Amino acid sequence: MADIPPPPPPPPAPLSYRDRLAQFRILEEKRCELIEVSTSPGSSELLDKLEKTEAKLRQTELDLQSEQNVRRTLQSEVSEVRRKMQAEVVEARDREMALAQRQARRPFALVLIDADADGFLFQDKFITRRAQGGEALADELLVRIRDYLRPHFEDFESIDVLVRVYCNLEGMANYLVRDGRVRNLGQLRAFSTGFCGRIPNFDWVDVGVGKEGSTGRKIRENLAFYTANTHLRHAIVACSPEDLPASLLTTLPLEKITLIESFPLPPSLTTLPLHITKMPSLFTPPPPPRSPKARGRSTQFSLSQKEDSDGGSTWLVIKPERSKSQGAALRRRERGGGGGGGGSGGSDDESSLSISIGPDNTVSVDSGRRRRIMG
């Protein structure tokens, strides 16, 4: 027979209320013994941990409050900096707009011409007609400048054009009289007066007889002065390349400068980011290079027509052509130095001799120093 398991033990008798209350008292006494402060070592371990934890909690709360204060202060400072930066940006934008508006009020283009430089002598159709020729030159120059500005600026019509022509008027007159183009200094003065009076912003400045390079110096100083002006849109310069060294041009805003070319420019200028143009309708073209002459002395004559501004007659002029070296020397001596009428020697007289034949067969012989008319 299989073993029969013993019966389970009977359940314990339920505790009475008094027994359970006694157990609770025992547990309470043990709990108090565990957490109460005692003089024996190690008996207050739990209380010490609790106190340390509370101290750390208070310090953490203080640190958190400090961090919050710092963050609030930092946020306030950042907001103030942003507000100031936005105000500065708005102010700078307003200044820029105001500057752009001021620049748009009276923009101008500057034209500087050294009329003493080789290759920049105005054509005879202007200088031989006295005041009318000066007025015609001013009109033609204004048209040519506006034509040049048209593709570069949309508002080219609102750009004022300022023109400054510099020359030694007496020296130029001596050269032109000797060359048979004008009769005297008064005729050239009338031409320059007509040029100035035609357009208010056009000036013809007579630098007088000065040391070498006075016109070139004025061109350089004016160019350096005006290119720093915020109202300047563009500067157009006609002068000798010797008066505009590359060392000067590299210090200026080259995008605002155009050189008028007569003779070929040197590589020191063509390699720079400059604008270059030509205006053949204004200036006398430079003479073409001559072929080498044969040995021995030979004279070549040129035949041209000249209108007499006093009587309206047309004269036929016959005169010997000068060599390139003679012409350049004569131009430097007369146009640059202001003299030219007091040289000695027969070569100057012969090189300036011209014979003019009028419509009534009147013959005029002009030796440069005096003129003789024969009926």
DSSP sequence for 284-347 = PPPPPPPPPPPSS----EEEEEEE-TTT--EEEEEEEPPPHHHHHHHHIIIIITS--SS--SHH
pTM of the shown model: 0.56
CA distance linking residue 248 with residue 133, whole number of Å: 35
Please tell me what DSSP assigns to residue 122.
Answer: B
Q: Which helix (H) or strand (E) holds 372?
A: strand 371-374
Instruction: List pLDDT tens digits, range 24-63.
Output: 888 888 777 766 644 445 545 666 787 888 888 888 888 8
**pLDDT level of residue 350 (50, 70, 90 thresholds):** very low
What's residue 294's pLDDT? 43
Tens of pLDDT, residue by residue over 159-171, are 899 999 999 888 8
Residue 28 · residue 20 · CB < 8 Å:
no
Q: Where are the domains of the chain?
A: 108-277, 301-374
Coil, helix or strand at residue 162: strand
Percent of the chain surpassing pLDDT 70 = 69
Question: Quick one: pLDDT at residue 39?
Answer: 42
Cα 194-113-333 angle, rounded to 5 deg: 95
What's the gap between Cα 370 and its chain centre? 50
Give the end-to-end CA distance of the chain in Å, rounded to a whole number.
Answer: 183
